[in-house]
Amino acid sequence: MSKQELAVLGQDSDSGTCCPALLTTPLDEGQAGELAKVFKALGDPVRLRLLSMIASRAGGEVCVCDLTPAFDLSQPTISHHLKLLRQAGLIDCERRGTWVYYWLLPEMVDRLAAILTRPAGEALPTPAEAAGASA
């Protein structure tokens, strides 16, 4: 049997890789810790649904009283999930009388999007750069 050379479609013949690198440098300990909190918060189906409900709300904010009926969970449990999303930097809130209103923080969402979809060769955005891009 003879050995044949097969060309891999989309492979860069100079570097021997098929895809551009996602990151130019590995995450440092601080970046990894910060992003781990965000991904952990997004890893729960209830929190992911809450985030999508807040993000898709007309006017950009939603009262906790409007979120609770969508789930078969108690209001304190929903508030706990919202607290974890807030601690991850994905949402923020403000108390108005009896109710608490929540809104999406686009800076963190933009930072995640930049990390996951940025063109190869661009440096990883800092939190300040991500915040400046969305302002």
Domain co-membership, 36 together with 79:
yes
Residue (of 100, 130, 132) closest to 118 by Cα position: 130
Please state at what angle helix 75-87 crosses helix 45-55, rounded to 10 degrees. Answer: 80
Residues 124, 23 contacting (CB under 8 angstroms): yes
pLDDT in tens, 32-67: 898 899 999 999 999 999 999 999 998 889 999 999
Print the domain residue range for 132: 108-135
Domain co-membership, 100 together with 115:
no
**Given a cut of 60, is residue 134 above it in pLDDT?**
no
CA dist., res. 91 & res. 100, Å (int): 12
Domain co-membership, 81 together with 115:
no
Amino acid at 89: G
Domain co-membership, 51 together with 99:
yes
**Given a cut of 60, is residue 14 above it in pLDDT?**
no
pLDDT of residue 74: 94
Domain co-membership, 94 together with 119:
no
Domain count, the chain: 2
pLDDT in tens, 81-127: 999 999 999 999 999 999 999 999 999 888 888 777 756 556 666 77
pLDDT of residue 77: 96
